[in-house]
Structure 1
Amino acid sequence: MSKDFSFLNEDFDDLRDLLQQFENLRTGKSHSFLDEDSFEQIIDYYDERDEMPIALQAAEIAIEQFPYSSTLLLKKANLLIETKKYNEALDLLEKAAILDRTDINLYILQTDVYLALNQHQKAASVLEEQIEQFEGEDRIDLLLELADVYDDWEEFEKVFDCLKMALEYDPNNEEALHKICFWTEFTGRNEESIRLHTAIIDEHPFNHLAWFNLGTALQGLKLYEKAIDAYQYAVAIDEKFDYAYRNMGDAFIRLRKFADAIEVLQKHLEIAKPEDVIYEAIGHCYEKQRKYTQARYYYRKASHLSPNDDKLYYKIAVAYMMEANWDNAIKSLHNALKINKNSAEYNMSLGECYLELEKHKDALIYFMNAVRARPKSPVVWQELLKGLYVAGFLEEALSQLVTAEEKAGRKPIFMYYRAAILIAMGKTKEGLLHLETALQQAPKIVKKLVELDPAILQHVSVVDLIAQYRRKS
């Protein structure tokens, strides 16, 4: 059954007739009478098409015929603002105010002028003085406009105050509810937001946005269990509320309830457009569950949506590394490095993979790259020293150890590594002296020495020295 859209053709024909009549008027030809409403349509038409000179001409002709129309004065003032003729616009707005002070567009346009002139105080004053004079939607519109002024002015606490006032007046205003969610997080006024939205819910228990905002405020205070309860109310009211599922997933992850997080994030995927961050979050959950195949699957789905995100290739690599699948890890790490070649983390991980495959020279190349990228990081130096030690380049390891302490500071881990290197070089007494110093300063990280070379425990003197400090601690 076909639908009748003839009314659209009628509207178009009417507008076409108006435009022809106006064209006749401005060119001096015979024309029909144009009333005030007709002029408004004509002005809007040319304004929307960015034909500003004709729109202004239409406004001027209209005002000549209807000099006491505040609406037409406001139309022209708006055009003048668009063309950056601010002083002329203010003059017109003063005339319009004499004719009619009940049109909120008057104050919004005045605000636009003062903002354009970077006069935020005047812009705010105009609205502050008028808010109490209006009721209903007009008051809300002025409060929302004032919130935007304070945002532009960077008076962020006052933005929150305006939105709070708007919701106290109209608890179901969706624009205010959407905006205050962001500003609660931005200003950290979570406790106030909780009180506000709890009061709204008491009066309007099926307001899903209020439940959602309550959840985000609770989450802002790290009250994740309560936040989840609020989100569950939100999705019970609106089962397609995708942002509630997203936030609920994050809350479950914070609680390390990864199976629950996966369930709600999968629900998000069912009702919303696929996003890389959602796939990545699901991959993270599977990784935490040590389900590395599933983790890689979702990281890859994320990377298909965001192919230039090097972190995703790195996460795929880590999931391979956790399974000791070094060759595939290396492939993913090279993909990450193609995007971000100066990442110390990626170079360091590549070094680790090559070290596991006993490709020592390749490993050392990437460890050196990591050191160049982050020369003040003890962790990066630690990996280079480990690579040199495992590869048997003990003299070079000792030399690089001196440089490491110069660049990254004299850390206890370096003392342990010096002890291991010296003992491996046959300088046992000197090595034991350094080991004793390290045990005095940081006995708890002696495990790093054993991780470097488990065979070091075959030295009775090393075992005795470690045991001695364990008894003391």
Structure 2
Amino acid sequence: MQLSNEEEDYNLSLSKFESMLKTNKVLFFDSEEFEEIILHYLDMGKAALAKKALKLALEQHPKSTGLKLVQVEMLVYDDKLELAEKLLNELYAIEPTNEEIYIQKANICSKRDQHEKAVELLNIALQYTDDYADVYNLMGMEYLFMDNLEMAKESFIKCLEEDLEDQSALYNVVYCFEFLDQNQEAITYLNKYIDKNPYSEIAWHQLGRLHYGVKEYENAIRAFDYATLIDDEFLGAFMEKAKAYERLKKYAEAIESYSRTIELDDATSYALLRMGKCYEKLGNKVLALKYFNKTVHEDPLLDKGWIAITDFYVRQKNYQKALFYVNKALAIDNQNRLYWKRFATINKQMNFFEEAEFGYRKAVEFGDYQLDTWLFWVDILQFLGEFESAIQTLLQASEYFPEENEVEYRLAGLYFMISQNTKAKFHLSNAMRLNFDNYILIEDLFPVVWAKKMVQNYIAKHKKL
């Protein structure tokens, strides 16, 4: 009941103040009422009203330290640091044991990037404060600014020892552990925290995330389950639980969790896409395609949605439709090497070799240096009779794969094709040194070259060696 009365008084003070502004009548408020009114407007982002309230407050209570500290806070907010510092020094002369003075001085130092000095001042504030949690939290933030993650972690842990319910400190502790690559230590810490505060859905959720990060998916699901039992509308926990189920190949359970996220909020393209993938894994092609289509309907600019449909049709060997959808993805992101490789592969399957060659060329241009990409590209160039281009492409590939027999055999074959026999023999020797048994590539890829007696003799000679 006490809390209810306090809330009622607080609302009455606000109504009374706003009524005064409308009628231009000057009403009396005690200094604490004014502090709450000013801080309310600051929290709401209504700086003009906060300043108006502060002006009236100081007229009615010119000697109130609390109001002057609020004035300091507003000066710091407006980056009027020198004025704020001057006022703080005046207040320090009157109340040298007021912890808020040191906190505000630390705030000014922080604004000036003097974070070590800010920590010194916060340590002094600890000697006078009753609210240790707040000061430790501020210290943690200063250590974060200094990239001192160990000290930041220690400060946030101390904050939580004072106030178990401080959610921002809990998030920050986990952030520090993760940044320091201390995932197992973080799991140990959170288990101890949960022993003291078992109904913290945030702690359970963070514990689940950490288990997921170290691939302990069963433990992750257990933690997410607790988070959703405590808060059955915890969308993030349902989403993370679904991802963990996917990792365990429990696709039906994953779908159920993704569905719950859609019940709680508007459907996200991510959830719809994942549901489509799960249905496809379960062999339900109809529902898979339905959810892929829902994905792109929800977010037509989500290239991953179009790619999911592309891959679906590739697996069905329906290359005509796959080509249509990969073009949709490329229209959104035409610098994605993976999309260009799909474009090339699909065109190759449809015997559109010039388009396939263009696709592989674009894939490499945008950073796809996988061996198979180079080889597919070269084989198509050879098929198109562009031997010189194929050789130049292979020489480029050999910079990434200097000891790759498949590159060397192809270079040998191509040089034989253009009658540069010395270079051809050099690369054929290299290829056989790297993997003699793979000489059948010459027979498979260059039957005209294989038919030459000179080539067969050269291979036979190396076989004897």
- Aligned partner of residue 47 in structure 2, secondary structure: coil
Paired with 2:27 and 2:241, the residues of 1 have a C-alpha distance of 63
> Normalised by the size of structure 1, how large is the TM-score?
0.77
- Name the residue aligned to 2:387: 395
Superposition RMSD on alpha carbons, in Å? 4.6
Distance apart, 1:90 and its partner CA: 1.7
Amino acid at match of 1:121: E
- Name the residue aligned to 2:4: none
Paired with 2:38 and 2:205, the residues of 1 have a C-alpha distance of 42
Which of 376, 381, 390 lines up with 1:383 in the alignment?
376
- Name the residue aligned to 2:117: 122
- Name the residue aligned to 1:19: 21
Query: C-alpha offsets along residues 129-182 of structure 1, whole Å, 9 cap, x if unaligned?
Result: 3336444xx222222222222233333333322222222333343333344333
Moved more, 279-288 or 95-104: 95-104
- Name the residue aligned to 2:47: 50
Distance apart, 1:454 and its partner CA: 12
Query: C-alpha offsets along residues 361-393 of structure 1, whole Å, 9 cap, x if unaligned?
Result: 22223333334334855443222113234x452
Which of 166, 185, 193 lines up with 1:200 in the alignment?
193
Moved more, 34-43 or 189-198: 34-43
Matched, 1:109 2:109: no
Paired with 1:108 and 1:267, the residues of 2 have a C-alpha distance of 44
Paired with 2:145 and 2:293, the residues of 1 have a C-alpha distance of 40
Kindly indicate whether the alpha-carbon contact (under 8 Å) linking 1:44 and 1:55 is maintained by their aligned counterparts in 2: no
Kindly indicate whether the alpha-carbon contact (under 8 Å) linking 2:405 and 2:435 is maintained by their aligned counterparts in 1: yes
- Name the residue aligned to 2:63: 68
Query: C-alpha offsets along residues 293-330 of structure 1, whole Å, 9 cap, x if unaligned?
Result: 54444344333444333333223212221221111111
Which of 243, 247, 250 lines up with 2:243 in the alignment?
250
- Aligned partner of residue 158 in structure 1, secondary structure: helix
- Name the residue aligned to 1:181: 174
Paired with 1:366 and 1:396, the residues of 2 have a C-alpha distance of 19
Distance apart, 1:89 and its partner CA: 0.8
**TM-aligned CA distance change 1:366 to 1:13, over 3 Å:** closer
Q: Tell me how many residue pairs correspond in the alignment.
A: 452
Paired with 2:369 and 2:447, the residues of 1 have a C-alpha distance of 30
Paired with 1:100 and 1:165, the residues of 2 have a C-alpha distance of 27
- Name the residue aligned to 2:5: none
Moved more, 307-316 or 139-148: 307-316
Moved more, 360-369 or 318-327: 360-369
Distance apart, 1:356 and its partner CA: 1.3
Paired with 2:94 and 2:84, the residues of 1 have a C-alpha distance of 16
Which of 295, 319, 325 lines up with 1:332 in the alignment?
325
Which of 60, 77, 81 lines up with 2:76 in the alignment?
81
- Name the residue aligned to 1:3: none
Which of 132, 154, 165 lines up with 1:161 in the alignment?
154
Query: Which aligned pairs between 1:251-330 and structure 2 lie closer than 5 A?
Result: 251-288=244-281, 293-330=286-323
Kindly indicate whether the alpha-carbon contact (under 8 Å) linking 2:99 and 2:126 is maintained by their aligned counterparts in 1: no
Amino acid at match of 1:150: Y
Kindly indicate whether the alpha-carbon contact (under 8 Å) linking 2:187 and 2:211 is maintained by their aligned counterparts in 1: yes
Kindly indicate whether the alpha-carbon contact (under 8 Å) linking 1:144 and 1:166 is maintained by their aligned counterparts in 2: yes
Kindly indicate whether the alpha-carbon contact (under 8 Å) linking 1:240 and 1:271 is maintained by their aligned counterparts in 2: yes
**TM-aligned CA distance change 1:239 to 1:455, over 3 Å:** farther
**TM-aligned CA distance change 1:298 to 1:152, over 3 Å:** farther
Unmatched 5+ stretches in structure 1 = 1-5, 25-30
Kindly indicate whether the alpha-carbon contact (under 8 Å) linking 2:110 and 2:142 is maintained by their aligned counterparts in 1: yes
Query: C-alpha offsets along residues 312-358 of structure 1, whole Å, 9 cap, x if unaligned?
Result: 32232122212211111111111121122233332222122122112
> Normalised by the size of structure 2, how large is the TM-score?
0.78
Paired with 2:122 and 2:155, the residues of 1 have a C-alpha distance of 11
**TM-aligned CA distance change 1:16 to 1:143, over 3 Å:** same
Which of 75, 90, 95 lines up with 1:95 in the alignment?
90
**TM-aligned CA distance change 1:256 to 1:375, over 3 Å:** closer
**TM-aligned CA distance change 1:42 to 1:209, over 3 Å:** closer
Q: What percentage of aligned pairs have identical amino acids?
A: 24
- Name the residue aligned to 2:224: 231
Amino acid at match of 2:163: D
- Aligned partner of residue 182 in structure 1, secondary structure: helix
Amino acid at match of 2:123: E
Kindly indicate whether the alpha-carbon contact (under 8 Å) linking 2:103 and 2:125 is maintained by their aligned counterparts in 1: no
Unmatched 5+ stretches in structure 2 = 1-7
Kindly indicate whether the alpha-carbon contact (under 8 Å) linking 1:77 and 1:93 is maintained by their aligned counterparts in 2: yes
Amino acid at match of 1:395: F
Distance apart, 1:442 and its partner CA: 4.7
- Aligned partner of residue 63 in structure 2, secondary structure: coil
Amino acid at match of 1:393: G
- Name the residue aligned to 1:144: 137
